[in-house]
Amino acid sequence: MLFNSLAFALFLPLVLGGTAALPLGWRWLWLLAASLVFYGWGQPGNLLFLGGVTLWAYAFGLLLGHGRSRGARRWLLTSALLGLIGSLAAFKFYDFIRAELPEQWASLWPVLGINAPAGYSFYTFAAAAYLIDVHRRELQAERNAAQFGLYMAWFPKVLVGPIARAKPFLDQARNGLRADPEKMVGALQLVFWGLFKKVVIADNLAPVVDNAFAIAPYAAPLELLIAVYFFAFQIYCDFSGIADMAIGTSRLFGIELPINFRRPYLSRSVSEFWSQRWHITLGQWFRDYLYIPLGGSRAGVARTYLNIMIVFLVSGLWHAGLGYGLGWSFLVWGLLNGLYQWAQMGVSTLAAKLPVPSLLPERLSGALAIFLTFHLILVSWVFFRAASVEEAVLVLQRIAAAIPDLPSVIRHYPFSGEHALGAGLIALLMGVEMLDERRPLAQRIAAWARPWRWALYYCVLGAIVVIGSWQGSRAIYMQF
């Protein structure tokens, strides 16, 4: 079931009504059943994957909780993680790697022909985090199988996250799943703003992007350039819109999920982009369960550089295997972002040793940092979106070769209504983001007079209905 579907519009009020009518002690069972209906809607076989991962993590969690010997617990954790990460790797890479082998070798291996269902990566990572936390004694193993099942299957987050940690989620669930009336308005605002970003902005940018990348060798360079810019905002609004709806929907039931995006295209460095603003919960997962266990920044400069690159290459592998085709482009995307981090660390080290006074006003230097960071990320998105490394390089080469002629080309280019609508929506989004950066938009709206607030609500709702693209498109990150 998709958030941007009629089925969900009917499903959510029904689940909210049932939750309000039930005693506190029964609500989590009702919500577990609702979550299973949501995830299995139209594809009941998905529940076998979710059930398998849930039972695996639950059983190993109990074993880890009972384990006394450090060696035994380490062996249990290793076995559990091999099962989880191994299954994810098999679904993503087995058939791809087989196809890359020489024909005489590939013929020795059968075709698996199975793709993991939507959300498999996200709840597999959540299960792995739970087991590691139990192993570290940071969390008691959950004995109630149904409550653990609710954590794994919770319908707002099961498809594309955020990747919620088990302890805060389970603590909230045990407290009765009571929504805070003071947060209800903010929760609904977040749901509708997320829906606006998904169906109005992302899904209206998508056709321009798809059309250009479908004929990358033959599309006009300006069309490719527009598609590259549009894709940066498409993927942001698609993913963050779903995340906003997930967080807002959870608040309606008294569950607070972690923030996953914080105005990423206002970042002043690539490090800030990845660590503080984009897909925050995945970044925290890699930090806590990969970067720090590898030694983090505690093992010397060379090891720090290596650990950072390992994290970004693993992130590239996590995205690879599905999404925009099977290929090596996601690995290049990860490598490129790792190199950005290396360059930033080198420049910061040099600047600390040779301090140079700034020749520009603070606001101008900040704006230039945002501009540079955005365009570095923009180049990496080309490898994310392209079907292959060769196609990504071709797109960048054709755009670079056409840059000297762009001023004259732009004057005579036959821009369409789709181009104008897309540019207007991006300008609107960035205007809202810049206002929100200075002062939370919810606080600004709360200070308005009631007629103005309701006028805004009706405008957003009208845009969703009239301009929204309602083809039932899946979220981009459901593919990963």
pLDDT digits (tens, 9 = 90+) for 409-441: 888 888 899 999 999 999 999 999 999 998 888
The better pLDDT of the pair 480, 137 is held by 137
pLDDT tens digits for range 155-190:
999 998 899 999 999 988 887 677 777 788 889 999
For residue 316, pLDDT beyond 90 = no
The pLDDT confidence band at residue 15, using thresholds 50, 70 and 90, is very high
pTM: 0.91
Does residue 355 sit within a domain?
A: no
Same domain, 89 and 138: yes
CB 34 within 8 A of CB 8: no
* Whole-number average pLDDT of the chain: 88
Same domain, 26 and 144: yes
Does residue 356 sit within a domain?
A: no
Active site residues: 319
Residue 325: per-residue pLDDT:
46
The better pLDDT of the pair 94, 140 is held by 140
CB 46 within 8 A of CB 117: yes
CB 334 within 8 A of CB 314: yes
The answer for residues whose C-beta is within 8 angstroms of residue 273's C-beta and 6 or more apart is 264, 267, 373, 377
Residue where the block lists tokens 């809607």: 41
Same domain, 135 and 220: no
Distance CA 65, CA 443 (A): 44
Residue 473: per-residue pLDDT:
66
Q: Among residues 145, 178, 211, which one ends one of the domains?
A: 178
The pLDDT confidence band at residue 326, using thresholds 50, 70 and 90, is low
For residue 472, pLDDT beyond 60 = no
CA atoms lying within 13 Å on the CB side of residue 423? 8
The pLDDT confidence band at residue 407, using thresholds 50, 70 and 90, is confident
Residue 480: per-residue pLDDT:
66
Residue 70: per-residue pLDDT:
83
Helices (H), 109-202: 120-135, 145-153, 166-174, 181-195
Percent of the chain scored above 70 by pLDDT?
91
Does residue 435 sit within a domain?
A: yes
Does residue 360 sit within a domain?
A: no
Q: Among residues 178, 209, 237, which one ends one of the domains?
A: 178
DSSP-assigned letters across all residues of 335-349 = HHHHHHHHHHHHHHH
Residue 71: per-residue pLDDT:
83
Query: Which residue pairs, CB below 8 angstroms and at least 24 apart, start in 432-435?
Result: 433/263, 433/265, 433/266, 434/266
Question: Phi/psi zone of residue 139: left (φ > 0), alpha (ψ -120 to 50 degrees), beta?
Answer: beta
Helices (H), 108-156: 120-135, 145-153
Q: What angle do CA 473, 474, 475 make, to 5 degrees?
A: 120
Same domain, 303 and 449: yes
State how far the alpha carbon of 163 is from the alpha carbons of 86, 122, 394, 411, in Å. 19, 6, 35, 46
The better pLDDT of the pair 92, 108 is held by 92
Least confident of 91-100, 159-168, 196-205, 265-274: 91-100
Of residues 188, 171, 300, 288, the one with CA closest to residue 245: 188
Does residue 380 sit within a domain?
A: yes
Does residue 253 sit within a domain?
A: yes
For residue 223, pLDDT beyond 70 = yes
Same domain, 174 and 268: no
Q: Tell me the residue type at 341.
A: Q
Residue 96: per-residue pLDDT:
66
Same domain, 228 and 170: no
Q: For residue 378, what are the domain limits?
A: 183-346+365-405+414-479
The better pLDDT of the pair 138, 353 is held by 138
User: What is the count of structural domains for the chain?
Assistant: 2
For residue 340, pLDDT beyond 90 = yes
Residue 327: per-residue pLDDT:
65
Of residues 284, 249, 82, the one with CA closest to residue 159: 249
For residue 194, pLDDT beyond 90 = yes
pLDDT tens digits for range 238-279:
999 999 999 999 999 989 999 999 999 999 999 999 999 999
Same domain, 61 and 203: no
Same domain, 45 and 130: yes
Same domain, 131 and 34: yes
The better pLDDT of the pair 67, 296 is held by 296
Mean pLDDT of 357-363: 75
Least confident of 72-86, 188-202, 311-325: 311-325
Residue 154: per-residue pLDDT:
95
Q: Among residues 163, 178, 193, which one ends one of the domains?
A: 178
User: In the chain, helix, strand, coil percent, each to 5?
Assistant: 75, 0, 25
Distance CA 308, CA 312 (A): 6
For residue 323, pLDDT beyond 50 = no
The pLDDT confidence band at residue 393, using thresholds 50, 70 and 90, is very high
Percent of the chain scored above 90 by pLDDT?
55
